[in-house]
Structure 1
């Protein structure tokens, strides 16, 4: 009888061993599926905590501004940054609303002058504006970060978590070294170092534009 129980015990042990080895071979049942790592959040200071310059008088911002430097990790600029064209922006108070500003940007494309016409909507906070996209998540938030109204202005543009910083000047003459240094420091705070600063030509700006190329669009950079 004892021998019979021993044989039964051996059979049970063998069956358990076989079942265990089968589970190990077919481990897909018990092995957890690999999880994708969540995408890294962009290292950009949110625009809602980027303060505008104090006591911004938006009326003093009206008029012509020449783009001098853009700080951006925009793929287009990284690839074509040495071929940028002179760009001039004109801000005009809206004749139909106190809460909007008409924005005209002139630049060259394929050796022709283009004009980009946009409307910025002002927020309750002076110095903050929005360029509305087709959907809210496509909006571009804009902050006037630094300006003295008469010589320079630093504008922040944030869209989908990506930041672009632009230095505009009233004239195309030389700008003071302290202002250039300040712009570099502001860019570095947004994790946009010197390698991502792109200078724009200060000559041969567009005057008249080909009317066939007056368009309405939202900038990608």
Structure 2
């Protein structure tokens, strides 16, 4: 019986020596590589370059006052403050391949006017220049009937914001709202990314101290 135990101990010792030699040869214990997570696929967004402007855009007919009624965007500011947006009105004035843009809205309970210049490239396509070329905002008039509504795309640094404007603050027809939702869906903007704007309490005259030139974040 003692001989059998000695034989078993010898076999165990030999196995330990073989295992120790193997791990030394490969530099230690063998570890299985951790499985790598596949990177999430970014949602496919239709580039604004292939979002054609409405046919035969007449920039003169686009001039005048427009009320911002709805915005579709994944802009971080709207995602965090979309329920606190203020009534906004935009006035367009055309002159020499440029479009002067006046936007009036409230901030901290005061009315402000933001002045900008859109540079026309082709009818329906414009550029709002940033401090550097890569910060430019490309703007496309995607759809409009001039008298009631206009859908505009704002493209900056790979991100798109869509805005629905109306000539009045009255509720738009259901077909127009449905069209805006369908166009937004093509840019992967579901209803969770829609931010309606107030249709009341718009700013009128603004003190000169509250007139600024700047580029919006969204």
Q: Would you call these one fold, judging by a TM-score over 0.5? A: yes
2:114 aligned with 1:116: yes
Query: Superposed, which structure 2 residues align to 1:1-221 within 5 Å?
Result: 21-25=24-28, 41=42, 43-94=44-95, 98-123=96-121, 125-221=122-218
| TM-aligned CA deviation for residue 126 of structure 1 | 1.3
Q: Deviations over 1:153-187 (max 9, x none)?
A: 00000111111000000011121110000000000
| TM-aligned CA deviation for residue 65 of structure 1 | 0.2
Distance 1:109 1:40 in 2: 37
- Normalising by the residue count of structure 2, what TM-score does the alignment of the two structures yield? 0.83
How many residue pairs get matched? 201
- Normalising by the residue count of structure 1, what TM-score does the alignment of the two structures yield? 0.82
| TM-aligned CA deviation for residue 44 of structure 1 | 1.9
Change (3 A) 1:40 1:102: farther
Distance 1:205 1:50 in 2: 31
Partner of 2:12: none
Alignment RMSD (CA, Å): 2.5
Distance 2:190 2:155 in 1: 17
| TM-aligned CA deviation for residue 99 of structure 1 | 1.4
Bigger mean CA deviation after superposition, 206-215 or 61-70: 206-215
Distance 1:41 1:116 in 2: 34
Are the counterparts in 1 of residues 64 and 93 from structure 2 also a CA contact under 8 Å? Answer: yes
Q: What's the secondary structure of 2:27's corresponding residue?
A: helix
| TM-aligned CA deviation for residue 80 of structure 1 | 1.0
| TM-aligned CA deviation for residue 210 of structure 1 | 2.5
Distance 2:29 2:213 in 1: 60
| TM-aligned CA deviation for residue 122 of structure 1 | 0.6
Gaps of 5+ in 2: 1-16
Gaps of 5+ in 1: 1-13
